[in-house]
Amino acid sequence: MLKYVLLGGLSYQPLTGYQLKQFVDRTTKHFWYAQTSQIYRTLDTLEAEGLLTSQIEEQADKPDRRIYHITPAGKADLLTWLAQPMTETEPTKDALIIRVFFGAKLDKQTMLTQLRLQRALHQQQLDLFHTQIPADIREGAAQNPELKRDAFFWEVARRNGELLEEAYIRWLDESIRRIEEELDE
């Protein structure tokens, strides 16, 4: 999947590996996260596959930097992938759900502490979906009017994150209440 995140980012403009990491951190990390090392390994693979090219840009007062450009083959691969129907749901991985599933082995207060901490973290993420992320989308669209259609879909993706966080918080609130009321020490 990281392959398509990077090709998608490069479809907007040529970027360095560092700029691609910033792109991921500002945009897709809310639903697809990558470490810096993963990004550079994937860039090397994509270049070897002919889906992007790179060139070294010399800088006077800084180290040289490598700038990546999507190729026509990269654009075609991205568009093919985007158009391909998804015929199955994606399995998810959630470490908290694993902890809850095996939670009977913990005492009540330890589990409640973990759930309350997660509730606070999910509230922080929801707050980002309400404030910072919409502002970033508006700013991106204002600075790049040619990306108006893109900004529409960025907002659709943002709304998904917002609704998922709201549902997760509701589940956490319900779970905390049930453990408090129904579970003996």
Tens of pLDDT, residue by residue over 64-102, are 899 999 999 999 999 999 999 999 998 888 999 999 999
Query: pTM for this one?
Result: 0.86
Mean pLDDT of the 21-36 span: 90
Name every residue whose Cβ is closer than 8 Å to that of residue 43 and which is 6 or more positions away in sequence: 6, 17, 20, 52, 54, 68
Q: In CATH, what number does 2-83 get?
A: 1.10.10.10
